[in-house]
């Protein structure tokens, strides 16, 4: 049975039993504690913990998940996969243990021809918590399981919690006996390879208190509403139903593995280490496909770094198997064909996905060439010095400058028998992150807040009455004042605090749009609103600075958005939509927004593209955007269900999370139709103008456009006009001839530079003859040492060529600038035949620094004051060689 069929049978089974089918949430999650969804219950967490009211009493889903904590184990064992799918059914205060057990048993054992999975009931084992006699009795009664196949286990295995105070409860797991060929008899307590777990039923019925680890925390009592959270591993069920050994051999992964084996001429099962690399490729290519499909782009931080690491591990694994050409164009389409039956979007979006993936591989191949040279040199230096550990600073350099993930440095160093100072690397990374955090704190000086204090406010008062779409002012009441240390009774002039209001007109930062600015005023207080966020679903928090008077809980205030600020924000956000549509009009549908930011007067938009657009394409995009503004396209906002929006063709932008009801913003109807929660103008002409101010690279295969809009856009164009006017006046040329006039000046400057270089070269040649005539002997070689103001390499080569070619000759020329010195060494052919190497001499002179060839080499970066001593050391160094 194909994995896609297993998936659809699961959803059909629970839909027929009153469950609402909920689509998989995107892999990037808004949960601040996670980078990606890592369990099937994550999208339902607010309903299970009571933070939000569930929209349905029971639900079912097949949730995409990514776990990367044990990524080094991927491929080394057949249990670990970084991408997996979790089939789940959920009850929010509706049914409980009896129904959950019955549903799981029915689907598992119902014959295939009747819509089930057809597992043999006599080979299924269940585990229960050792104190959960109710579940044991239900397995006996509902499934007719004998006691010997119902195994009692302790808290470590069969009691669930999220690791923090909140819901918890016993769980019951289902295992399938795969036969004596795979291990010992005796059930899952004896051998979990033979007995494969395929379903876990969590019975949330208690509330736990503080405590660490899986045991030892207090149980505070029963939950007011008991919930069900179950998870059936889709890949594990596919392993069972397809009769294969592990998740790497099911229909969604094995074709990728087979293609990698064919490319590399490797037979799967023939060599243990090669098998590991093939499994890494199969897993990582599929994971990368799904992450890219959900809008994650390769980068150096957070989610982007995880994706970059996964892609690069896949590419390097193929290279280690002997395939040196680009591999992803051969492998990614195979993964697409495997996953498209369950996720059609991977086929629909494949051009965009492939563009980003292939650009990342191209960049990594270049990085690998440069970084490998640096790493090999560093490892050689460590070994020459008798060491066994690569310094943390060198590992950090590889990460920070060459884009080498630390795990890649660890792998490559280990292959050469060298360890890495991981602690030193981690310390340097920590310093870099702390600098970034300090920058962020400098921009927003409100400090971190206690989430439990925020949740208490939400529980006590309900969601914020949010009026940002309707008005710029509300009469509001202060519900809470919070600071980094907790709840505050009052905030005085000059102090900054977080204010929770019962209602607010302020837009909270989201969807790329900056938060509103404005003020809170009351009978005895004036306060400036600095920032607005949504720290919890439904709760709006205002960071304010009290400028006069005092602000206390219970105060009545007028909350007022700065009207000019909001107008600028609306212009920028609508301008972003317009620019996005213009970009897709000019470049095609793969130029899909991958990130954006807009504030009054300014916008930026990131999109996947290989290579710079160039002046002509930028002008075409800008013109298409401004033509849309000139046509004064209508801006319409509609609410509808997510399926309706998708059917309408609305673009769902990656990295965003959408609910059941979504807000569709149209500019000119289908010309620009996106899901968006931001604020917008009523007509396109109100944007004013879109003036592109820059284009840049923000990573492999990712470009960024920046633009000014509204008054700021007109101001930018006015400044450009004034600059052109000044240049025309200074160059005494009409504006339409400026480009030609500047080009002519540049040509003349280039010619002057070439003439000056030629004069310097002739002077160097004249000096070279003089220096060569004064050569002295050391160790059987003729040696010249000297300093040069510039172009030391030219002088070194010229001196070398003027030394008698019948004898070994060496020219060493030093130069200094900015307090640092550089040394260039050139050796003639006779010297090289006698065993002299320019690269070797440089490294000996500079303690391992520098590089080049036997003919000419260079090294530097040492203090300029040390240059005379370095040159004096040349003759002694050569004297110890005694070539003569």
Binding residues: 573, 577, 676, 680
- Report long-range pairs for 635-641 (Cβ below 8 Å, ≥24 apart): 635/574, 635/665, 635/666, 635/667, 635/680, 635/681, 635/682, 635/683, 635/684, 636/665, 636/666, 636/669, 637/663, 637/664, 637/665, 637/666, 637/680, 638/663, 638/664, 638/666, 639/663, 639/664, 640/664
Q: What angle do CA 435, 439, 445 make, to 5 degrees?
A: 130
What separation in angstroms does the CA of 189 have from each of 147, 157, 380, 729, 777? 14, 10, 49, 88, 81
Bridge partners (DSSP) of residue 697 are 703
297 phi and psi angles, rounded to 5 deg = -115, 145
Sole residue written with tokens 């064992």: 77
C-alpha 665/C-alpha 60 separation (Å) is: 30
DSSP conformation letters of 442-493 = HH-TT----HHHHHHHHHHH-S-EE-TTT-SEEEEEEEEEEETTEE-SEEET
CB 87 within 8 A of CB 5: no
C-alpha 538/C-alpha 465 separation (Å) is: 9
C-alpha 199/C-alpha 231 separation (Å) is: 6
**Which residues have a Cβ under 8 Å from the Cβ of 676 and sit 6 or more positions away?**
511, 573, 577, 653, 663, 664, 665
For the chain, the straight-line distance linking the first and the last C-alpha, in angstroms and rounded, comes to 80
C-alpha 801/C-alpha 778 separation (Å) is: 18
Bridge partners (DSSP) of residue 128 are 152
C-alpha 477/C-alpha 604 separation (Å) is: 36
Sole residue written with tokens 């050796």: 827
**Which residues have a Cβ under 8 Å from the Cβ of 387 and sit 6 or more positions away?**
none
CA-based nearest residue to 68, from 56, 82, 87: 82
C-alpha 712/C-alpha 817 separation (Å) is: 43
Q: Dihedral angle at the C-alpha atoms of 731, 737, 742, 745, nearest 10 degrees?
A: -80
Q: What angle do CA 389, 395, 399 make, to 5 degrees?
A: 165
Q: Which helix (H) or strand (E) holds 672?
A: strand 672-675
C-alpha 323/C-alpha 329 separation (Å) is: 13
Burial class (CB in 10 A: 0-12, 13-18, 19+), 75: buried
Q: What angle do CA 20, 536, 656 make, to 5 degrees?
A: 60
Q: In what order do the strands lie in the sheet with 595-599?
A: 595-599, 602-608, 702-709, 690-697
CB 322 within 8 A of CB 265: yes
The tokens for 195 are: 């007995």
Handedness of CA 500, 504, 510, 512 (dihedral sign): negative
Q: What angle do CA 643, 644, 646 make, to 5 degrees?
A: 65
Binding residues for Zn(2+): 573, 577, 676, 680
The DSSP call for residue 653 is: -
Sole residue written with tokens 């650009």: 359
């Amino acid at each position: 049975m194909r994995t896609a069929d297993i998936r659809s049978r699961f959803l059909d089974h629970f839909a027929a039993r009153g469950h609402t089918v909920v689509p998989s949430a995107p892999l990037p999650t808004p949960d601040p504690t996670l980078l990606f969804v890592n369990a099937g219950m994550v999208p339902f967490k607010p309903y299970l913990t009571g933070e939000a009211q569930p929209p349905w009493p029971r639900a079912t889903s097949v949730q995409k998940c990514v776990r990367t904590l044990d990524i080094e184990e991927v491929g080394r064992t057949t249990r670990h996969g970084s991408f997996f799918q979790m089939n789940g059914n959920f009850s929010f205060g509706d049914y409980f243990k009896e129904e959950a057990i019955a549903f799981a048993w029915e689907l598992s054992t119902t014959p295939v021809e009747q819509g089930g999975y057809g597992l043999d009931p006599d080979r299924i084992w269940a585990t229960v918590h050792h104190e959960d006699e109710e579940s044991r009795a239900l397995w006996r009664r509902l499934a007719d399981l004998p006691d010997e196949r119902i195994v009692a286990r302790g808290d470590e295995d069969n009691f669930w919690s999220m690791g923090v105070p909140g819901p918890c409860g016993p769980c019951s797991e289902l295992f399938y006996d795969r036969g004596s060929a795979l291990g010992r008899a005796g059930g899952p307590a004896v051998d979990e390879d033979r007995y494969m777990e395929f379903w876990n039923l969590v019975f949330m019925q208690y509330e736990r208190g503080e405590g660490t680890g899986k045991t030892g925390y207090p149980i505070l009592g029963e939950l007011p509403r008991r919930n069900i959270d179950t998870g059936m591993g889709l890949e594990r069920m596919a392993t069972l139903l397809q009769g294969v050994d592990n998740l790497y051999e099911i229909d969604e992964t094995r074709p990728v593995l087979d293609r990698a084996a064919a490319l590399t001429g490797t037979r799967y099962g023939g060599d243990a280490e090669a098998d590991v690399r093939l499994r890494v490729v199969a897993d990582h290519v599929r994971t990368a496909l799904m992450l890219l499909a959900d809008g994650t782009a390769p980068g150096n931080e957070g989610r982007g770094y995880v994706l970059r690491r996964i892609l690069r591990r896949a590419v390097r694994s193929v290279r280690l198997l002997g395939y040196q050409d680009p591999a992803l164009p051969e492998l990614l389409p195979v993964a697409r064909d495997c996953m498209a039956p369950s996720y059609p979007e991977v086929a629909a979006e494949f051009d965009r996905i492939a563009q980003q993936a292939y650009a990342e591989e191209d960049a990594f191949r270049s990085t690998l060439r440069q970084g490998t040279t640096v790493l090999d040199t560093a490892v050689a230096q460590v070994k020459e010095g008798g060491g066994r550990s690569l310094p943390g600073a060198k590992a950090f350099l590889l990460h920070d400058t060459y884009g080498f993930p630390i795990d890649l440095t660890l792998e490559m160093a280990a292959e050469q028998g060298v360890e890495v100072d991981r602690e030193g690397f981690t310390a340097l990374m920590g310093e870099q992150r702390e600098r970034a955090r300090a920058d962020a704190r400098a921009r927003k000086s409100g400090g971190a807040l206690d989430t439990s204090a925020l949740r208490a406010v939400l529980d006590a008062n309900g969601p914020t009455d949010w009026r940002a779409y309707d008005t710029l002012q509300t009469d509001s009441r202060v519900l809470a004042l919070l600071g980094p240390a907790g709840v505050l009774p009052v905030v005085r002039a000059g102090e900054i605090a977080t204010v929770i209001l019962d209602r607010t007109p302020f837009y909270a930062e989201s969807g790329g749009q900056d938060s509103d600015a404005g003020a809170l005023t009351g009978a005895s207080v004036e306060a400036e609103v600095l920032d607005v966020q949504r720290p919890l679903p439904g709760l709006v928090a205002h960071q304010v600075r009290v400028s006069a008077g005092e602000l206390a809980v219970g105060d009545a205030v007028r909350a007022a958005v700065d009207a000019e600020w909001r107008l600028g924000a609306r212009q920028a956000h609508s301008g972003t939509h317009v620019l996005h549509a213009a970009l897709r009009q000019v470049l095609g549908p793969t130029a899909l927004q991958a990130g954006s930011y807009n504030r009054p007067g300014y916008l930026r938009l990131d999109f996947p593209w290989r290579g710079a657009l160039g002046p002509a394409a930028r002008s075409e995009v800008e013109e298409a955007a401004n033509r849309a503004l000139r046509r004064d396209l209508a801006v319409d906002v509609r609410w509808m269900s997510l399926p309706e929006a998708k059917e309408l063709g609305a673009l769902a932008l990656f990295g965003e999370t959408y609910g059941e009801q979504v807000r569709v913003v149209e500019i000119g109807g289908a010309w620009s139709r996106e899901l968006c929660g931001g604020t917008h103008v009523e007509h396109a002409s109100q944007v004013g103008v879109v003036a592109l101010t820059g284009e840049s690279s923000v990573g492999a295969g990712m470009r960024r456009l920046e633009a000014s809009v509204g008054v700021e856009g007109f101001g930018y164009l006015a400044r450009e006009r004034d600059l052109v006017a000044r240049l025309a006046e200074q160059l005494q040329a009409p504006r339409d001839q400026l480009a030609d006039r500047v080009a002519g000046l540049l040509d003349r400057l280039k010619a002057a530079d070439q003439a000056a270089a030629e004069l310097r070269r002739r002077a160097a040649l004249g000096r070279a003859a003089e220096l060569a005539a004064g050569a002295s002997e050391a160790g059987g070689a003729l040696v010249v040492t000297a300093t040069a103001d510039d172009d030391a390499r030219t002088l070194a080569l010229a001196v070398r060529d003027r030394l008698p070619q019948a004898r070994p000759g060496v020219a060493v020329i030093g130069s200094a600038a900015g307090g640092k010195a550089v040394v260039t060494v050139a050796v003639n052919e006779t010297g090289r035949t006698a065993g002299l190497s320019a690269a070797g001499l440089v490294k000996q002179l500079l303690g391992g620094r520098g590089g080049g060839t036997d003919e000419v080499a260079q090294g530097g970066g040492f203090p300029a004051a040390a240059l005379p001593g370095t040159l004096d050391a040349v003759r002694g160094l050569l004297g110890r060689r005694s070539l003569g």
